[in-house]
Structure 1
Amino acid sequence: MSHTAPIRSHRKPRRSASTIAMRTGVASGVLGTLAVATAAGSANAAEPVTQTLELPVLTGDLAAQVAQSAEATQQAASNYQLQAARDAAASAAAKEAKKDLAHAKAEATKKAEAARKAAAERATRNAERTTLSTTASSSSSSSSTSTATGAAAAVIAFAKAQVGDAYVSGGTGPNSWDCSGLMQTAFKQVGISLPRVSQDQSTAGTQVSLNNLQPGDILYWGSAGSAYHVAIYVGDGMFVGAQNPSTGVVERPLSYDPPTGAVRVL
């Protein structure tokens, strides 16, 4: 081997121009692709993201449960209204019953009071009947109370002359009378003007005891000021009066219908 033989150089061989051009083209293509991808990514990033939520769909069983719950709620409301109406009706009925009870008690009290008064009046009348019977007996034997004189005799004579006439409510003669009409006309014979009705005639004079009657005294039934009937005492335990439509004007003993009181105008 010759010492002058050429020695291989360690320097890399130069690339050819075509190789460099090819590599440059590949690099340009890669960069172009990246640019396109980057642009596309930027465009996508600018667009808003829309998210859609899907609601669950009611199944047949769930719809039936909802309907059943609504029906139960409506039924409960109806029951509440019905109960409220029943409570209101019961309250009204209780108030009405309480009112009726109070009215019934008041009526019972009124009736009891009327019965008590009626019983007291019957007892009083029975006592007076006994008293008047005694008075009639004593009057028949006493000329001072059985013989009428003066004005009393004239009044009594007129009243007795009407015995047998008819009783007519509101009658003032000459052939029909009511009790106060007969008294008014009888006393008019002697110039005494009496009120027209029994209530007023029972207070027209001086009140006298039934034990001290004199001929010509006006007898009355009921209380003084509210009498419902009048007649005239004629002596000897007798009276004359227009009693009622069935009897007309009659003369009767005091025991026939004992009066309540008497008034003296003569």
Structure 2
Amino acid sequence: MERIVALARSRIGHSRYQLGSDPTLAPEIVDCSSFTQWAFEQIGVEIPRLSAEQALVATRVTRGNTRPGDLIFMEGRCYRHVPNLPPDHVGHVGIVAEDLTHFIHATHRPNGVHVGLISLIPPWRLRFFGRIEI
């Protein structure tokens, strides 16, 4: 899984964010889930395209059992005001970094891919951590 983290880090400041991006444009143009999909494809592991679909195939792990390369699933900010979404809706995904306190994800901020601090994710937004079995 260290390879996943290294691949993710290699795109910091080098990928442009576009919501709903075409996965064939990755890693140059990505959204959160095409970014994670691309990283796993580089090591020969296929995962679904959308963050909600990736959440369905990941094995849930507790915060204390996370490893580098695990996925972190959150509510997507753009979905906050959509009515009738289930309370556990997943709309954003990132990759847990090697120090287990940060995550690497693609977002609309400048430079697309960047590092975030897990402890700064509001509790209402954090859904769960998941592992893709390799």
How many residue pairs get matched? 115
Give the Å deviation of 1:191: 1.3
Q: Contact between 1:187 and 1:194, CA under 8 Å: does it hold in 2?
A: yes
Corresponding position: 1:260 with 2:109: no
User: 1: distance between equivalents of 2:88 and 2:132?
Assistant: 15
Moved over 4 A (4+): none
User: 1:62-100: CA deviations, max 9, x gaps?
Assistant: xxxxxxxxxxxxxxxxxxxxxxxxxxxxxxxxxxxxxxx
TM-score of the two chains, using structure 2 as the length reference: 0.76
**Structure 2 unpaired stretches of 5+:** 76-85
- Cα distance change, pair 225–191 in 1 and its aligned pair in 2 (3 A): farther
Give the Å deviation of 1:211: 2.3
Alignment partner of 2:48: what SS? coil
1:52-91 superposed matches below 5 A? none
Residue of structure 2 in register with 1:161 after alignment: 10
Corresponding position: 1:234 with 2:105: no
Give the Å deviation of 1:244: 2.0
Q: Contact between 2:27 and 2:38, CA under 8 Å: does it hold in 1?
A: no
Tell me which structure has the larger Cα radius of gyration.
1
User: 2: distance between equivalents of 1:260 and 1:167?
Assistant: 22
**Structure 1 unpaired stretches of 5+:** 1-151
Q: Contact between 1:198 and 1:227, CA under 8 Å: does it hold in 2?
A: yes
Tell me: higher relative CO, structure 1 or 2? Use CA pairs within 8 A at least 6 residues apart: 2
Tell me the percent identity: 30
User: 2: distance between equivalents of 1:196 and 1:250?
Assistant: 20
Q: Contact between 2:2 and 2:98, CA under 8 Å: does it hold in 1?
A: no
1:240-255 superposed matches below 5 A? 240-246=104-110, 248-255=112-119
One-letter amino acid matched to 1:170: G
Q: Contact between 2:102 and 2:118, CA under 8 Å: does it hold in 1?
A: yes
TM-score of the two chains, using structure 1 as the length reference: 0.40
Judging by fraction of residues, say which structure has more helix. Answer: 1
Residue of structure 1 in register with 2:40 after alignment: 187
User: 1: distance between equivalents of 2:120 and 2:17?
Assistant: 18
248-257 or 178-187, which deviates more:
248-257
